[in-house]
Structure 1
Amino acid sequence: MHLVRPLRLVRVLGAVTAAVLLGTIGLAPRANADDGWAQEPVASSEASGQACARLMFVGVRGSGEDPGYGRTITEIRDRIGAMTDIEDDVRQVWLDYPAVALSDFTTDQLEDLLFSSDDASEGYRASVLSGVDELQRLLADEGGRCPSEKVLLVGYSQGAEVVTRTLSVDPLGDRLLGAVLAGNPAHFEGQHVTEDDSTSSESAYGMTAALEYLRTSGVSAGSTRDAQVQGMIAALFAMYDGDVDATDMAGALAENHLDLDDSLTSRVHSVCMAGDMICDAVPTLTRILSSQTTFDQERERARPLHSNYSSVMPLTMNWLEAALKRLALEPEPSPTPSPGGGTTGWWIWVVAGGGVLLVVAGAAIVSHRRGRPAKPGKTAVDDGDASASETHQP
């Protein structure tokens, strides 16, 4: 197999990442359809203005899609909305983050990804990290305001990576009803997810997971650029052959917050179609690097797969339907907290209780004074006796 020169690896991977890494395969978003949920979707920055609900649905769009859910998340949301029995007790939130398109991704930015442990100052990585920050803020703020509320997260493409990195840091515990990851670039073998609908092999690695592992392998291969490139090539073909050291892979991806706690396995459902160069990237990278095909050919081949996730997850939808039915049978959540914190109306009970105590105390004092003998030279009326006052006629 003929390999490209080491320096060409950077250029080829740059070309692949520029138009492949989640940015240019998706289709244009469409307007949200009627899904039966009473509350309209709002940006995450406006979620605090919504009333708390039994379920908060959060959709995270893919690269280059306009603000809102984007086409794939909208279609998944519509299917979920049609199966829920709690239509009036669901609120919808779309994550307000850049979701940057990668059509202008540069070789310099790729080198930042492959040869530096520092975060890129702009571009795809910065977009993902911005999304993670916003999703973490949303979940923390709304969890404090609505502690009884369950959360359902759905991420597509770049959005799936945002959800993955967020759950890697905070699994949410019992608050998480579930998460759906469609075409996840952070996908890798042993990620502690359920993959009932995936058709990719167990050893499929998404574009982000592959690049992060390549970067780590390059760093460990040596201090010179040539040594690092050779290390990356060796790591790429090890992934292709399924010979990756599981410990090395787990360590590299845990360091980059792509791993998930095993407690999430049954609640995080990932769908990756075989041949989708976003979540199953290694075959694509290998074919391009060995000059068997071109990027344009790979992009056209993958387009129908990557843009069709809303219709290829029947088992995931069955699981979601069962989870929503269980949620509908649960007792009503506790009262909605007030904007200032605490349970709405608690101060009313405190004031009312205080008033009752004052009335009781006053009655006791009057009763005590009625029973006392009057002081010499003073009548009961002079002493403020209420009953004597009542017998006086004008």
Structure 2
Amino acid sequence: MSVSRLLGRLARLCAAVVVLALLPLGAAPAAHAVDFYPVDAQPWAKGLPLFCNTNFVIGVRGSGENSPESPAYPGLDHMGDRAGAYLRQAQIAGLDTSSTDFYPLPYEAAAFNFDNLTSWTGDSRWVKSRNTGVIQLVQVVQEMASRCPDTRIGLMGYSQGANVVHNAIDLLTPAERARIGAVLLIADPHSPAGTTSYTVRTGYRTGTTDKESQGGVLGPRLLPADIAGRSLDFCIIGDLTCDPMGSASLELGAEIHTSYQACCGQTDYRVSLGSWFARQMRGISGPPPAPTWNPGRHCGLTVVPPNDAAGRAVEWACREVSLNTWYTWGGGHGPTPGPTYGFVDTSDPERSKNDPYRRGFDCSGFVRYAWAKAVGYDLMGQRTAAQESQLPATQRFTAAQGTAPLLPGDLVFWGSPISHVAIYLGDGKIVEARESDTHLMVSQFAGHDNYAGAVRLAHSGTGGGSATHSTWGDSVNVRASASLTDPVVTTLSGPSAINVQCQKHAETVTAEGYSNDAWAYLPDLGGWISNIYVQGAAWLDGVPACDGSSGGSGRFQTWATGVNVRPLPSRAGTPVATFSAPMSVAVQCQKHAETVSAEGYTNDAWAYLPDYRGWVSNIYVQGPDWLPGVPACDGNTGSGNGRFSTWGSGVNTRQRPTVSAPLGPVFAGPTQVTISCQQHAETVTAEGVTNDAWSYLPDHQAWISNIFLQGPAWLDGVPPCGGNGTSTGNSGFTMWGSGVQVRQDASTSTAAVHTFAGPATVRVLCQDRGQSVTAEGVTNSAWSYLPDYGGWISNIFLQGPAWLDNVPACASRRPGDPPNVV
């Protein structure tokens, strides 16, 4: 994206934020976290019907559609031009006045202007109007649900009114939401991004969905799942309120926002959505009038996928094309699927000279990422194109068969030996990471020579498995049941990433001197594999027993309230569960990891809770620091903060970060390791690549050259070791303060990925605008991305000006993903 285009989009977003006052309510993860302003003497009670009817429909006006001097009275005429237009069609479609009472919420619906925006702390008239409307709407629903238990309630809101409806729904209990028959949101500032089961997107001029919304100006947010099936969210692409980033200009975005009573193209959405609302209120459920799913829309093609998994792989691949993601040699081969910095390709040093500074993918890393997003786990792992051609497949196609049997989502390969892979789209088109100094692209299948064949992956991603694991060994059989005598479903030709749903004890298997009676069920392959061929403990950590038992080694009692269960034994992860009160929990195993202090005690032991698939600090478990009778998790006593994989065979570790130091453990083959930190030290060369970074392995109390770790030269998200690490890339900056947190995105509401105990020198990749932060009497909305920690820090904690000198702005990014650079 060009700088001018980026600045234009940022300006539109900033203006849209100003239009709707991006305040704490918008930033909060749920409306429950908001402190609402007091409501005056229940003005809503004056207009409620005296008698109960079959239906009670509440219309909530948009900003300025009625002034406070002309309060709303019962009837469609007082619901504003937009909400009233859709509900009038609902009335024509069957919600006549004999069966339905129409009630306009009598809140202010304050018009937006700069006089109404007196501060950014919630004091504006617009924000008070919105918050008061939320409380009023909750009170109306609760009153009618109590007064008329058999009446079906309908909710409809436009713009500020949609904001009111959305936030009120979040505050209602499930029992109260069960009384709602239909919800229609028009231009919701919390409109969800992408395509969901209840969204309707359309083009302003055409009436067709040629692209999708990136979400509302107050942040995309889904409705509660129990109401989504009775709801519709309608957004015209480019609306300054529900899709500000899709707007071509401020003027057009504002024009679109006021056009809902008469749009779009040849389709009268007032009729179609009003009719849907009426049918839903009458108890006639049915699918919303949503467009047909086209996973190839970001590639500019119509793609008809053979199944959901293939379609999702195509969709994720095409999204990266639309983001102008770079090809980068070696990109996409980090510990987890996703774009990474690349390397200089020694066979093409000129074209690849910028690859170490660009986040992106090579061909196999790109395919790995798309299919990982499609099935929900790392299906391919660290594989080259040639190795990906050997993945488990339902069908394999030879070069002689050409493109005739291929379907979208199939992997297609070129070279002898195989050196390139792409995803087939249909109609002779592919999507690929082609070569250095180009973006990901859609190409002609015939544009490559030496076609080698294709595979249709066996993995459908529909199993709902609970964990991702890897096998070892060659020609490993997956069987119809947990026995060596049962038929073979498929054979894994080499080490493979697998999705494990559950495990059980069955026939004992012996291999390489080990015996094990545990078997794992692989839902994507429809069969069983002996755990002896799965990397990990004999009984896999975090995988439930197939009979529903927890597999835990004992039950213990937690204490205190608000205790978090984390995905890893570290406080940096987003909680997978929070105990609001003391709980009885099953503990499977324990390990030493991050030190935690609470109530005057300090402990570095963590317990794994299989029922929650997460970790809790032993400091919150009643008993001694190291729980009696609970085994160590694989004997792992490390304190590292990340899991990575080595590659190669006979890999040495050292007692110091130099090849002349005494040996530590030697890894016979690829091994998963825990890394606590990294630093620059002695330069090592292997396989034509040179690197001076070394990582410390706390489980082995040894060092390993990063050249033998899968991922970039300087590992993403791993901090430097003490003060010994040196900065690379952009010049270092000094961070001040203690307990400063690095966040997953440019907002204090996102998860912390690292905490600085005190001042430190950090490397900054780029900077962007995010949530305003106040510290020491200073406020700043600029945030910087720290590539060594994989997260964001407010510039208020970096020494220098509010907007750092000589640091580029970040280009397109998604929450939680590393940014590109302008």
TM-score normalised according to structure 1 size: 0.53
| Correspondence 1:134 to 2:91 | no
Question: For 1:301-328, what per-residue CA distance to the aligned partner results, in whole angstroms no more than 9, with x for missing partners?
Answer: x35645536942554334334334447x
Alignment partner of 2:280 out of 298, 306, 323: 323
Q: Which has the higher helix share?
A: 1
| Correspondence 1:69 to 2:71 | no
| Correspondence 1:269 to 2:239 | no
Q: Which residue of 2 is the match for residue 97 of structure 1?
A: 107
CA apart distance, 1:176:
0.6
State the alpha-carbon separation in 2 of the partners of residues 309 and 130 from structure 1: 31
State the alpha-carbon separation in 2 of the partners of residues 85 and 92 from structure 1: 9
CA apart distance, 1:88:
1.3
CA gap 1:197/1:299 in 2 versus in 1, 3 angstroms: closer
Partner SS state of residue 199, structure 2: coil
CA contact (8 A) 1:64 1:99 kept: yes
CA contact (8 A) 2:202 2:235 kept: yes
CA apart distance, 1:146:
1.0
CA contact (8 A) 1:196 1:315 kept: no
Alignment of 1:351-370 (within 5 A): none
Alignment partner of 1:299 out of 248, 251, 254: 254
CA gap 1:20/1:53 in 2 versus in 1, 3 angstroms: same
Alignment partner of 1:173 out of 177, 191, 194: 177
CA gap 1:282/1:204 in 2 versus in 1, 3 angstroms: same
CA gap 1:107/1:95 in 2 versus in 1, 3 angstroms: closer
CA apart distance, 1:69:
0.6
State the alpha-carbon separation in 2 of the partners of residues 48 and 314 from structure 1: 27
CA apart distance, 1:125:
2.1
CA apart distance, 1:278:
1.2
CA contact (8 A) 1:197 1:313 kept: no
State the alpha-carbon separation in 2 of the partners of residues 155 and 91 from structure 1: 16
State the alpha-carbon separation in 2 of the partners of residues 281 and 147 from structure 1: 40
Alignment of 1:76-87 (within 5 A): 76-84=86-94, 87=97
Partner SS state of residue 236, structure 2: coil
State the alpha-carbon separation in 2 of the partners of residues 58 and 142 from structure 1: 11
State the alpha-carbon separation in 1 of the partners of residues 95 and 222 from structure 2: 33
State the alpha-carbon separation in 2 of the partners of residues 322 and 15 from structure 1: 38
CA contact (8 A) 2:238 2:245 kept: no
Q: Which residue of 2 is the match for residue 184 of structure 1?
A: 188
Unaligned runs of 5+ in 2: 23-42, 67-71, 73-77, 204-208, 285-822
CA contact (8 A) 1:57 1:91 kept: yes
Alignment of 1:108-127 (within 5 A): 109=119, 112=120, 120-127=122-129
| Correspondence 1:195 to 2:199 | yes
CA gap 1:276/1:100 in 2 versus in 1, 3 angstroms: same
State the alpha-carbon separation in 2 of the partners of residues 278 and 185 from structure 1: 5
Q: Which residue of 1 is the match for residue 242 of structure 2?
A: 279
CA contact (8 A) 1:168 1:259 kept: no
State the alpha-carbon separation in 1 of the partners of residues 271 and 201 from structure 2: 7
- State the Cα RMSD in Å: 3.6
State the alpha-carbon separation in 1 of the partners of residues 48 and 128 from structure 2: 25
Partner SS state of residue 151, structure 1: strand
> Which amino acid is the alignment partner of residue 276 of structure 1?
D
Alignment of 1:341-380 (within 5 A): none
Question: For 1:125-170, what per-residue CA distance to the aligned partner results, in whole angstroms no more than 9, with x for missing partners?
Answer: 2221111000011111121111111101110111011000111121
CA contact (8 A) 2:191 2:215 kept: yes
CA contact (8 A) 1:197 1:271 kept: yes
State the alpha-carbon separation in 2 of the partners of residues 9 and 297 from structure 1: 13
Aligned length: 242
Partner SS state of residue 98, structure 2: helix
Partner SS state of residue 272, structure 1: strand
Deviates more, 1:142-151 or 1:96-105: 96-105
CA contact (8 A) 2:184 2:232 kept: yes
Q: Which has the higher strand share?
A: 2
Question: For 1:330-360, what per-residue CA distance to the aligned partner results, in whole angstroms no more than 9, with x for missing partners?
Answer: xxxxxxxxxxxxxxxxxxxxxxxxxxxxxxx
> Which amino acid is the alignment partner of residue 62 of structure 1?
G
CA contact (8 A) 2:199 2:233 kept: yes
CA gap 1:65/1:193 in 2 versus in 1, 3 angstroms: farther
CA gap 1:15/1:194 in 2 versus in 1, 3 angstroms: closer
State the alpha-carbon separation in 2 of the partners of residues 206 and 273 from structure 1: 11
CA apart distance, 1:198:
4.3
State the alpha-carbon separation in 1 of the partners of residues 92 and 131 from structure 2: 32
Unaligned runs of 5+ in 1: 23-42, 113-118, 210-252, 288-292, 328-394
Q: Which residue of 2 is the match for residue 246 of structure 1?
A: none
TM-score normalised according to structure 2 size: 0.27
| Correspondence 1:150 to 2:113 | no
CA apart distance, 1:202:
4.2
